[in-house]
Amino acid sequence: MTKFHRTYTTKANFMLHGGDYNPDQWLDRTDILADDIKLMKFAHTNTFSVGIFAWAALEPEEGVYNFEWLDKIFDDIYGIGGRVILATPSGARPAWMSQKYPEVLRVNTARVKQLHGARHNHCFTSPIYREKTQKINRLLAERYGQHPALLMWHISNEYGGECHCHLCQEAFRNWLKEKYPDLKSLNHAWWGPFWSHTVTDWSQIESPSPIGENTVNGLNLDWRRFVTDQTIDFFENEIIPIKEVTPEIPVSTNFMADTHELIPFQALDYSKFAKHLDVISWDAYPAWHNNWESTADLAMRVGFIDDLYRSLKQQPFILMESTPSLVNWHQVNKAKRPGMHLLSSMQMVAHGSDSIMYFQWRKSRGSAEKFHGAVVDHDNSLDNRVFQEVAKLGGILEKISDVVGTNRPSDVAILYDWESNWALNDASGFGLKTKRYPQTLQTHYRTFWEMDIPVDVITKDQDFTSYKLLIVPMLYLVSEETISRLKTYVASGGTLVMTYISGIVNEHDLTYLGGWHKDLQEIFGMIPVETDTLYPNDRNAVNFNGKSYELKDYATVIQLNAAKTEAHYVQDFYANTPAVTSNVFQKGKTYYIGARLEDDFHREFYSGLINELAIKPAASVKHGKGVSVQVRQSPECDYIFIMNFTEEDQTVVLESAVKDMVTGEQLSGDVVLEKYQVRIVEKEKC
Ligand code: GAL
């Protein structure tokens, strides 16, 4: 990673501000469409994602096209200086297609073919659907490829889900044939003899199903991998004409997160998908002001996902969707309180977004999303509180365009792995409800977030060498290759932290035999010999630096070899035995945290490492709990976002003079931030 470089992900050197625009719902209301264009200017918006669900409007009958309305939208948006992110429409298809070609319909895990309806429900394998999407995509590329408003491609929408039709079964078998040279190696990888599950002909293989095979971990894992690969393959098929006709226009598809707790999207391996995209974009819908966590806790989770998605390409990303106020699909759809829209949007920019985009520009009048927040409400009024907050944010984004393209160099990395998460969740063992891999990573991230230390959340095939500290919590599945890369990282001077339930199975989900992997034993100087899983209300403690820290869910019994004990257990049959260990290995050092410990332990433990490794926050701003300071850096300047994620005033202390990018004020010393206030300041490096 080159520090301090700029990467413009699109041709725009300004912050994109706008969002999903669905004029196809209003084609008989030219007055509304005219209002849209006027209101876009008042809202200080400049970029619109168009055509996402417009297939029925673009091709009302098979082979009969209607692009005129879209021509006008392109011209009108360009007429006010705006840009278009053009979507391919495969996220939802016209009814005529499902009726004429039923193979495009998805089949669920119970092998029930779905009826036409809703969206995001096509078969990813269907040759007909692939042909139809390519055809419409080519027409779109040919018609709009040269339009000066075209900024980026939005391929489909939120790819997800899976299909179990006979075409997909065949594709899965072919995928397996590519992966395994013969059935013998497949049976070995899937541990076939268990319960007589040995496969003697490829045709016996079926995707996992609640009414069929669902206990073979290797099959389940390969199916998840196949679903990712097949989704990417579908995407690659979609972009063939697009790359042919408009090679210079970047391509993205919008990634997701899993709400309620806000963790990365689980169903697809985005580390693989990222390699096929020019730009990462994602849709963020945190439940602000909820009744189960503090605003700061939620902000920390958002920061984690941002840092993961930013790190996928080590470049800025695009926030493709967010709501200016409320959503319609949470259990309770609460409005963002005044100030939260600006704060939550600026957090996105602080962590690497070069845009604030919304779902949706205008509220629809009918159907499922008519109560979802939008910039323009049913009142069509620019006096609307939400509209005003959007316009205010737009004005601020115009003032901070220097931030575009900058990144967040970091000395610390946390490793996130989709495959390991799948395998761990599929394992019948440990605590079925307490595995919580993504949430566990977020608890490790928390200390750094609280201390304003930037973190890259990286994936296993990324380069480790530039980081002073690499944290690998709960890496249940780890291949020999990754183990060897971790070993090289430590040997050449890196500091590696690993936790309980790591290094248990290989890439086939087969356990390592003979105790822990020999290389791990060597670099950690110890062997985890037993994992004790506790009931959710069981508690134990560890003693670290003379203080006691609460432990729950998991405790590893450790056999010490060369390692040193850093903390020991307080109770139970392993009382007084090592709970946390450290080991010097060649030029580097390792730490093993054997138990799930409370946040205060992480604060104490990581503060020690931060000091030892001379890791610094990216800006020196003193503040209390719930304030987050995040920095984007260019060669010339640091752009510092000081954000108050609490419901009270907070005084922060600026240790050097800076300029407020919005008001132009010079600031130094004590500055009071009101509830939810954010200040964006710049500090020149010279
Ligand atoms: C997204 C989707 C949008 C809209 C939005 C509502 O997941 O891409 O089309 O449905 O949710 O929050």
Mutational test site, ligand 1, from 260, 262, 283, max ligand atoms within 8 Å of CB? 283
CA of 208 relative to ligand 1 center, distance in Å? 28
Element (H, E) at 222: helix 217-245
Cα separation of 15 and 6, whole Å?
Answer: 14
Task: Tell whether ligand 1 has an atom less than 6 A from the beta carbon of residue 157.
Answer: yes
CA–centroid distance, residue 251 to ligand 1 (Å) = 19
Q: Cα(227) to centroid of ligand 1, in Å?
A: 22
Residue with tokens 């963790």: 263
Residue 327 Cβ < 6 Å to ligand 1: yes
For helices 30-42 and 385-399, the axis angle rounded to 10 degrees is 50
Sequence-ordered list of residues with C-beta below 8 angstroms from that of 328, at least 6 positions apart, any chain: 368, 369, 371, 372, 373
How far, CA to CA in Å, does 664 sit from each of 2, 651, 652? 30, 20, 19
DSSP 211: T
**Residue of minimum CA distance from atom 5 in ligand 1:** 359
Quote the ligand 1 centre to 55 CA distance (angstroms).
17
Length of the chain: 686
124 Cβ contact partners less than 8 Å away, ≥ 6 residues apart: 162, 163, 168, 230, 231, 233, 234
Ligand 1 site, residue 21, Cβ cutoff 6 A: no
Q: 254, 282 in Cβ contact below 8 A? A: yes
> How wide is the angle at C-alpha 569 spanned by C-alphas 563 and 573, nearest 5°?
110
DSSP state letter for 260: T
Neighbouring residues of 144: CB distance < 8 A, sequence distance ≥ 6: 70, 74, 84, 86, 150
User: Which residue CA neighbors atom 9 of ligand 1 most closely?
Assistant: 359
Q: How far apart are CA 5 and CA 406, in angstroms?
A: 7
Q: What is the pTM of this model?
A: 0.98
* Cα of 264 vs its chain's centroid, Å: 4
Q: Is 593 in the pocket of ligand 1 (CB under 6 A)?
A: no
The helix, strand and coil proportions of the chain, stated in percent and rounded to the nearest 5, come to: 35, 25, 45
Q: Which residues of the chain have pLDDT under 70?
A: 1-3, 686
**Ligand 1 binding pocket includes 321 (Cβ within 6 Å):** yes
